[in-house]
Structure 1
Amino acid sequence: MAGLLRGVVRTAAVAGTATAVSNRVSRRQAGRWAQQEGPPAEQQSAPPPPPQPVAPASAAVPIADEMSSRIDQLKELGALKEQGILTEAEFAEQKSRILGT
Structure 2
Amino acid sequence: MARTAVVAGTATAVSNRVSRRQAGRWAAQEDEQAAQQQAYADQAAYQQQLAQQQAYQQQAAAQPQAAAQPQAPAADPMAAKLAQLQTLAGLKASGVLTDAEFEQQKAAILAG
Query: Which bracket does the TM-score occupy, shorter chain normalised?
Result: 0.3 to 0.5
Max radius of gyration: which structure? 1
TM-score (norm 2): 0.36
TM-score (norm 1): 0.40
Which of structures 1 and 2 has the larger relative contact order (alpha carbons within 8 angstroms, sep 6+)? Answer: 2
Report which of the two has the higher share of helix. Answer: 2
